[in-house]
Amino acid sequence: MAQFFSEASRTFSEYLLLPNLTTKDCIPENVILRTPLVKFKVGHQLPSLEVNIPFASAIMQAVSDHNLAIALARQGGISFIYGSQSIEEQAAMVRTVKNHKAGFVVSDSNVKCDNTIADVVKLTEETGHSTIAVTEDGSPSGELFGLITDKDYRLSRVDLNAEVSEFMTPFPELIVGQKGITIEAANDLIWKHKINCLPIVDENRKLVHLVFRKDYDDHKKNPLESVDSQKRLIVGAGINTRDYKERVPALVAAGADIICVDSSEGYTEWQSDTIQFIKDKYGDAVKVGGGNVVHGDAFMYLVEAGADFIKVGIGGGAICITREQKGIGCGQATAVIEVARQRDQYLQETGVYVPICSDGGIFQDYHIGLALAMGADFVMMGRYFARFDESPSKLRKLGMNTVKEYWGEGTKRAANWQRYHEGGGPELLFEEGADAYVPYAGKMNDNLKTTLAKIRSLLCNCGAISLPEFRQKARFVLVSSASIREGGVHDIIPRTTQDG
């Protein structure tokens, strides 16, 4: 007969951490959030790939493109570029991240001379970029004809059908740098000529990069950048279990630091075959994560196939409806606890530590801390990052609110049937995700700073200044529905901005 588990599967909201003694060295400035991404033999080697903050962005069209990957790597995390696109397009995104140099930006807002001011306004609204390159063919690498900014025209007095060429600063009037210039020399030109943007061109006047004054300060503010041995930003990429034999070589050639098999449920022979193909072809040179799983048996299956990390979680994402549609999954807290228990047992038996990634089930910032205390080495988030300027989805007005579009990889909109295939044909018979909106939250850096401050403070409350110490010392208590209510605002009349 069927096997039944008497213990209920639980969510992060059902737990709280108990404080430990906070010693005088437990201050946020001393907290180190560095964490491994891939397996390693404890006491014999260091992890070959780490991040300085335990955050990864989800493998989703609405979340992880090259722009967010650059922004998150500069803050110390990592993005996994979504795989539900052509091999060529995904490889190009990976290549863009790897070719990015601190301060040197590939222009992704471009127009032609005969575009209209209306086109510029629309592009600015969609991207938030106020400086736009004018190139011969409207591409980021075309011959540079000029720059146009939001200071070059006044919407109240301009004909929106007027051409860009009438308002742009033409090339002869621009201060430019030549390809090969150092970031120090580029910044010197910016400060010397009191300009906000310095285009970098090659010998044929083709645009190579843009350097912005604001990025100088940003670079100084980002000492935790996630970089490889050549000081390039690190980036991951998602793959499916269908076209991996063609996709993986292209991503490796583009410079992807790590691959992750993207599946709503990873305890399958298709995923084992995919991971084994990568390991047979590349050995340890290419790192690959597997998942998603919710129990120890599935963890062991993928580890034995060769996975370098394991992703945990089925049906817990804000946009995921797998549990509703199929009745399969597990509360995220229980899933992390169970997989972490199996991971620790595997460590005792082999001496090999396999990182686990908690994917889904995070609705509040403090849930991140709970996931890390329960055994996750890093968390993967979609909704969290989809809210920011850096995500690829569009801004919309919804009534009086500003929102960003957000849709799951299990929707027909994503057209990502490969992620959900079970040996059948190329079609998505039912959806496992929703198409929705998330409240717009502005720039990622501002929000991430607050979230990280909460996590560092939580570690200090638990008497820890590193994630391994945090997991070792963590003490949990289950909370009742009444205590959850007690922990929030209650029995008051909240003050509003209208009260003065």
Catalytic positions: 320, 419
Contact (CB, 8 A) for 419 and 410? yes
Classify 89 as helix, strand or coil. Answer: helix
Closest by CA position to 56, among listed 303, 291, 323: 291
Whole-angstrom distance, CA of residue 234 vs CA of residue 74: 9
Whole-angstrom distance, CA of residue 373 vs CA of residue 390: 29
Q: Which amino acid is at 195?
A: I
Classify 333 as helix, strand or coil. Answer: helix
Whole-angstrom distance, CA of residue 270 vs CA of residue 409: 19
> Half-sphere exposure (CA, 13 Å, Cβ side) for 8?
5
State phi, psi for 170 to the nearest 5 degrees: -70, 160
> What sign does the dihedral 18-24-30-34 (CA atoms) show?
negative
- 25: Cβ–Cβ under 8 A, 6 or more apart, which residues? 465
**Which strands, in side-by-side order, build the sheet including 435-439?**
395-398, 401-407, 435-439
Q: How many CB atoms lie within 10 A of CB 153?
A: 20
Classify 129 as helix, strand or coil. Answer: coil
CA dist list (Å): 201 to 125, 182, 243, 376, 400: 27, 13, 37, 45, 43
Whole-angstrom distance, CA of residue 186 vs CA of residue 221: 18
Measured in residues, the chain has a length of 500
Residue whose entry in the numeric block shows the structure tokens 């070959």:
48
Classify 492 as helix, strand or coil. Answer: coil
Whole-angstrom distance, CA of residue 7 vs CA of residue 240: 33
State phi, psi for 66 to the nearest 5 degrees: -65, -30
Residue-by-residue DSSP string for 96-140: HHHH-BTTBB----EE-TTSBHHHHHHHHHHH--SEEEEESSSST
Closest by CA position to 451, among listed 366, 360, 333, 358: 366
> Half-sphere exposure (CA, 13 Å, Cβ side) for 11?
14
Residue whose entry in the numeric block shows the structure tokens 């049937």:
417
Q: How many CB atoms lie within 10 A of CB 455?
A: 22
DSSP state of 303: H
